[in-house]
Amino acid sequence: AKDYELRQYETAKWVSTVIRGETQKEAMRQGFWKLFHYIQGKNEKEMKIDMTVPVTCLVKSSCTDFKISFFVPFEHQDSPPQPTDSDVFIEERKAAAIFVRSFGGFASPEKYTEEAEALARVLRNRGQPFHEDFFYTAGYDSPFKLFNRHNEVWYFKK
């Protein structure tokens, strides 16, 4: 559709951390650094792992817990090194159909929420069933990239 796309994601492993009781912006900052330390070698194998995209953030309605995640690179999907930080964990996300809305620029928590609300409106208008109680933000660019930035919001199809 012109306002969104429907993607099928296969089962995959992500390295994640949950930040509680902070603003989304602060949770993203803290979570990013915990995960960045993991890929820099703060894991059982003391292995450096390539940075991947997207960086996702799970946003739940009326909840101040945010789950920040990095995709585990394909070469480590079978056996990612275990984190040594007790706040960091490997999770397996099951295969899912996901509604995606893409947008450019520097994405703030407010912009992500605005885009998620716009996507939810379109999906409701088109009678598309989706899980309305949470969405994911997905960022694809380094903070140093100034132009042609790519961001997404994701709702899981019911």
Q: Which domains does the chain have, with CATH numbers?
A: 5-156 (3.20.80.10)
Please give the Cα distance from 16 to 90 (Å, whole number).
6
At 59, which helix (H) or strand (E)? strand 55-60
Q: How far is CA 25 from CA 21, 38, 80, 116, 151, in A?
A: 11, 20, 27, 16, 15
Q: For 107-148, what is each residue's pLDDT tens digit?
A: 999 999 999 999 999 999 999 999 999 999 999 998 889 999
| Cβ contacts of 141 within 8 Å, gap of 6 or more | 53, 149, 150, 151
Q: For 48-106, what is each residue's pLDDT tens digit?
A: 999 999 999 999 998 999 999 999 999 999 999 999 999 999 999 999 999 999 999 99
Q: Is the whole model's pTM more than 0.85, yes or no?
A: yes
User: What is the residue-wise DSSP string for 61-79?
Assistant: TT--EEEEEEEPPGGGSSS
Instruction: Report the pLDDT value the prediction gives residue 143, as an integer from 0 to 100.
Output: 84
Question: Which amino acid appears at position 33 of this protein?
Answer: W
Q: Tokens 């969104």 label which residue?
A: 4
What DSSP character marks residue 150? -
Radius of gyration of the chain (CA): 16
What b/e readout covers 104-122, taking b as 16+ CB neighbours within 10 angstroms?
A: eeebebeebeebbeebbeb
Given a contact cutoff of 8 angstroms between Cβ atoms, the answer to whether 154 and 122 are in contact is no
Q: For 21-58, what is each residue's pLDDT tens digit?
A: 999 999 999 999 999 999 999 999 999 999 999 999 99
What tokens appear for 41 in the block? 């070698």
Tell me the residue ranges of DSSP E strands in the chain.
Answer: 5-9, 12-20, 55-60, 65-71, 88-93, 96-103, 134-139, 151-156
